Amino acid sequence: MRLRCAVLDDFQNAATTSADWSPLADDVEVVPFTTHFPDEDALAAVLADFDIVVTLRERVAFPASLMARLPRLRLLIASGMRNSVIDYAAAEAHGVTVCGTASSSTPPVELTWALLLGLARGLVQESDALRSGGPWQSTVGADLHGRRLGLLGLGKIGSRVAHVGLAFGMHVSAWSQNLTKEYADEVGVRLAASKEELLAESDFVSVHLALSDRTRGLLGAPELALLKPTAYLINTSRAAIVDQDALLAALHEGRIAGAGVDVFDVEPLPVGHPMRTAPRLLATPHLGYVSQDNYATYYGQAVEDIQAYLAGKPVRRLP
């Protein structure tokens, strides 16, 4: 009897076309799900008859309580090699092997700049006006050349964002709790003396930090109050790094020029969520990782993970 494999959150119905699943045809039935299951009860009911689950990024949590309700589950595959919402101890206790895939940092770098440029030049507002017969030019774009880009985090993604900023002729500063002057110099950016200094002096601030106990709520109301009224905030990292209520208040009160956000406290974002209608906000539905090449990697390596597991030699095991 063939094993059953569920592919979660395949919103674009792209999982089975982004990779060749045919090597599994004799051994595995692959079932993509194009809608999101909002709670543990729904997940437990849907996944009860599956031996393998492929989950996309960190959208679906797999706590111990869910693991206990999935007696057939034997292999859990996460896209990427880091996943904070899987209970690895519970997986081991229930005999579930957890594997990951590679994930490129290129798509989130590119989306960061799409959001920043879209905000700076009012692209959505101007495009909507042009297509609907609205006013011919209604915004005055913010310049990038000569302005300061402040980066919270200078890792794989942050450093590449920095290089693009330098190419635009921006002055680039960076800060994180562990960032050294030597590494900032190597990237070619200035190390800010403090988080507060970076926020106060930057025209554009972009978040590129991993979510941890140290970074959760790193930007709250006091920190957002340091931003210039002409400044823009970009977050393609994790929603919980920025206090969502404080950000909404800053946007509604016009205390910052705007924000570009790709990550939210609840995903998918519920209908009626205040982030859907906030002013001065350019928002995208967590598209940072969503690209053709990344999907080819995610699902192509998911096939490899399944093949290796069936051969008794699991690869890319997590954590």
Catalytic residues: 238, 267, 286
Residue 112: strand, helix, or coil: helix
Strands (E), 41-196: 52-55, 75-78, 97-99, 148-152, 171-175, 190-191
Show the CA angle centred on residue 55, arms to residues 49 and 60, nearest 5°. 95
Q: Which DSSP symbol is given to 270?
A: P
Contact in structure between 56 and 33 (CB atoms under 8 Å): no
Helix axes of 123-132 and 106-120: crossing angle, nearest 10 degrees? 60
Give the gyration radius of the chain's Cα atoms.
21
**How many of the other CB atoms lie within 10 Å of CB of 249?**
14
8 A C-beta contact, residue 237 and residue 153: yes
